Structure 1
Amino acid sequence: MSLPHATPHAPAAPAGPGARPAPAAAVHLSAPRYVLGELREDHTTIEGLRERARRFGMPPRAELWGWGSVHRTAKSLEALAAETARATLDGAGAAPADVDCLILCSTRFPGGPRTHGAFVENVMAATGLGAAAFTGLTLGRCANLLAGIRTAQAYVASGMHRTVMVVTADRVTDESVRMENFALFSDGAASCLVGADPLGPDTYEVVAGAGAQDPAGLDWSNEISSDLAREVNRQILDAAGMKTGDILGVLHANLYKPLVVLKERQAGFTREQLFLDNIPRVGHCFAADPLINLADRARAGTLKPDGHYLLASSVPGVRIAVLLRALPTPATAAAPEGTPA
C-alpha cells in the first residue's frame, strides 16, 4: 500500500544555520463553479434501470438510494469545460491572462494522440487561455479533480505557477451504463482557480491535502476502502493540528446514500457532517461532485467564515481529500462582534 504524505499549505524554504524556517506560503482555491447537462430528467428515464437494479441485487426504492434526477448533455466535453472555466473566471473577477496554467481532468478524453491537441486547443481558445501551460489528468477516475487540485497546489506552492485553472468534464457516452451499482451518473463539469492570491469573494485557503493508494485494490470490482479514508484523514488532521470534529462539512462524491453514509462514517465522520442533498438533485457527476457540493453550500449561505470543509473522493484503491478554510467575505470580516454572519 502506498501512502503519500499530507501537504499543509506549501513546503517552507530551507533555513540556514540558526535561522527560523520561513512560514509556508498560503495557497487559495477561488470561484468554484460548475455546469450540468442541460437535459434534466427523472431517473425513471434511465435505460434498463429496473433490470440493472435487479442484477445488482438492489430493491428499486428511489428514496433509499437517493435516486432522483440525472442530467444529460448534447454538448461536447470541450464545450462543457469551456463553459465552467468561463464561469470561474467571471466569479473570480479574473482575466484569462491572469491564468498561467490549465489542468484538464476527465475520466476519458475523447479520441487519442491525433485528436487530443485539437481538444486542448478548442478549450483554450474558448476560454482565452491560449498562453497558459497545460496538462491533462485522467487515471484517478472520479478522484481526478482532487488530484488536479493537489497538483495545482504543488505548482503554486513551489512557485512554478501563480494561478492555475483546474477543470474537470465528463459525460456518459453509453446510456446503458448510466446506472452503476454505486451511483446514477450525470453529465457535467466543474472548475476553480488555485493560486497564490485570493480571487473574488468566493475564496478558500487550502489548509492541507493528502492522498492514499492501494495498488492491489484499484480494480473496478473492488469496494471503496474506509482504511484509505482514515489514513488520509490522519495525514490531513495531523498536518493541520485538528480533530475530525473540527471539520464542519464533508463535500464528498454523490454516490448512493447508504454507501456514502456507511463509508464516510467508517472514515470517522458523523452523518451531520455529510451533505446528501445533491445525491437526488444532481446525481454523480464523475469527479466534479466535491466542487459542485461546495459551490451549492456556499450559494445557500451554509458555510461559516473560518469554518473548515473537506473536499473528498474515493474510488476503489484511492482516496484523495483537500481541507479548506472558508475565508470571511469583506462584509462578514467588517461586521461587529456578535453580528450574525
Structure 2
Amino acid sequence: MITPRLCAAAYELGEHAEPVGELPELLAAPDTAAALTSPAAGFVTYRWSEAPVVELMAACVQRCLAKARIPGSEIDTVLLVTDSLPHDRTAHRDVAELLAETGMTGATVATVGMMDCATAMVAVGTAASLVRDGTARHVMVVSGDLADLSTGGDRVVAGGAAIASDGAACVLVSAEAPGLPVLAMAHHAAAGQEHGGTAPRQQLLSRITAYRELFARLSARHPVRPAETVVLPSNFARDVMRMYLTDVGFDSERIALDGVGRVAHCQGSDPLINLADRLGEPKPADATEQEPQALVLLGAGISHLAAVLVGAHPLPAHKGGSS
C-alpha cells in the first residue's frame, strides 16, 4: 500500500504586523480587548496584507517545492483552500497566474470549501487519499485567506475566540518524497453552530462534544495516544483550545500554541503554519521533553472540525510509490 507523506510545509504571512490591541474592534470593546490580549488568551500581533491572496500562495508554494526538491511540473493535483478568490471568472485568471509562477501548469486544480477553518485539513486528508490509491504521486494543498475578503473585514472572529490574520500555507502530499507518514484523518460537523441561536452553555457543551467525537473517530482509524502526541491546532485563544483539548486527554505542554501570540489566526492555514514552525525548530541538545511519536493537525471552525494524524518521524524518499 502507498503511504502518503506530508512534505515541506511552508507559509507566507501578510507583510504588515500590527498590535492586536490597536484593532478598532477592540478599541471599541475594552472588555473583549482585555480578554483576548490577556496571557490566558495570548493574542499579541496580527498580520495583514495589501497583496492578493495568490501572491502569498505563490511565495509559500515556491518555498515548499524548493524544500521538497520537486519541480512544479511534477505536481499532479492542486487543492486550493480559500474564501478569498474573486467570485467570478477572474478567479480562473488568478489561479492560472499562481500555476504559471510556480511551474505547476500541468496540474489539475480544484477548490475545497464549506468547512471554514477545518477545510484545509479536509483537503490534506483528500490529498492523502488520492496519493494512497495511486491517482496522484504529488498533490499540493494550498490554503490562504485575507480577512477583508474571507470575513468581510472582521478581525474578531470565531465567536470572539480568535483574531484573524492574513496569510497562506501549503504542504506537499507525496508518494515518493521524504516526509511524515499520514496515519489517519477524521472530521466532524455540528449543524447550526455557526448561526448561534442556542444558549452559550449549550453551545459550549456542543463544542466539547464535537471534540470528543472527532478524536473518537480519529482513534477508531488509528490509535491516538495523547501522552505521545502533540496537537498543532488552529490559533484560537489559548485558554479556549486548552479547555477543549485537555478534555480529550492532552496535557497543556502537548498543545502547540506559540502561534497565537506571534501570528494570530490565519484561518485554515494555522495547522500547516504550526507544522512548518515545528519542523524548522532546532532541537536543543539538553532537551528533556519526551519526543512525540505522532502529531495531530487540527483545523477548527465554529461548526466544523477536522484532524489529520501523522507520524512524527519522517519516512525516507521512496521510488515506486508503495511501502
CA contact (8 A) 1:163 1:196 kept: yes
State the partner residue of 1:40. 17
Q: CA offsets, 1:86-113, max 9 Å, x none?
A: 110011011011111101111x233223
Identity of aligned residues (%): 26
Aligned pairs for 1:16-95 within 5 A: 24-54=1-31, 59=35, 61-95=37-71
SS of alignment partner, residue 301 of structure 1: coil
State the partner residue of 1:238. 220
Q: CA offsets, 1:174-227, max 9 Å, x none?
A: 78621231111111000010011134xxx2110111112222434367557122
Go from structure 1 to structure 2 and tell me whether the alpha carbon gap of 1:210 and 1:96 turns closer, same or farther (over 3 Å shift): same
The letter of the residue matching 1:135 is A
Go from structure 1 to structure 2 and tell me whether the alpha carbon gap of 1:31 and 1:304 turns closer, same or farther (over 3 Å shift): farther
SS of alignment partner, residue 18 of structure 2: strand
CA distance, structure 2, for counterparts of residue 152 and residue 227 of structure 1: 27
Q: Which ranges of 4 or more aligned residues in structure 1 deviate by more than 6 Å?
A: 303-306
Go from structure 1 to structure 2 and tell me whether the alpha carbon gap of 1:34 and 1:216 turns closer, same or farther (over 3 Å shift): same
CA contact (8 A) 1:170 1:286 kept: yes
Q: TM-score, normalising length from structure 2?
A: 0.86
Alignment of 1:295 with 2:276, yes or no, is yes
Higher mean Cα deviation, 168-177 or 141-150? 168-177
The letter of the residue matching 2:212 is R
The letter of the residue matching 2:117 is C
CA distance, structure 2, for counterparts of residue 130 and residue 260 of structure 1: 39
Go from structure 1 to structure 2 and tell me whether the alpha carbon gap of 1:265 and 1:300 turns closer, same or farther (over 3 Å shift): same
Go from structure 1 to structure 2 and tell me whether the alpha carbon gap of 1:194 and 1:38 turns closer, same or farther (over 3 Å shift): same
| CA RMSD, Structure 1 to Structure 2 (Å) | 2.4
Specify every segment of 5 or more residues in structure 1 that has no aligned partner in the other structure, as ranges: 1-23, 331-341
State the partner residue of 1:312. 298
State the partner residue of 2:188. 212
Which is higher, the Rg of structure 1 or of structure 2? 1
Deviation at 1:237, TM superposition (A): 2.1
Q: TM-score, normalising length from structure 1?
A: 0.81
CA distance, structure 1, for counterparts of residue 276 and residue 196 of structure 2: 29
Deviation at 1:307, TM superposition (A): 2.1
Deviation at 1:42, TM superposition (A): 1.5
Aligned residues between the structures: 301
State the partner residue of 1:159. 134
CA distance, structure 2, for counterparts of residue 306 and residue 250 of structure 1: 10
State the partner residue of 1:14. none
CA distance, structure 1, for counterparts of residue 242 and residue 71 of structure 2: 40
Go from structure 1 to structure 2 and tell me whether the alpha carbon gap of 1:176 and 1:136 turns closer, same or farther (over 3 Å shift): closer
Higher mean Cα deviation, 41-50 or 86-95? 41-50
Go from structure 1 to structure 2 and tell me whether the alpha carbon gap of 1:61 and 1:209 turns closer, same or farther (over 3 Å shift): closer
State the partner residue of 2:116. 141
Deviation at 1:61, TM superposition (A): 4.6
CA contact (8 A) 2:26 2:33 kept: no
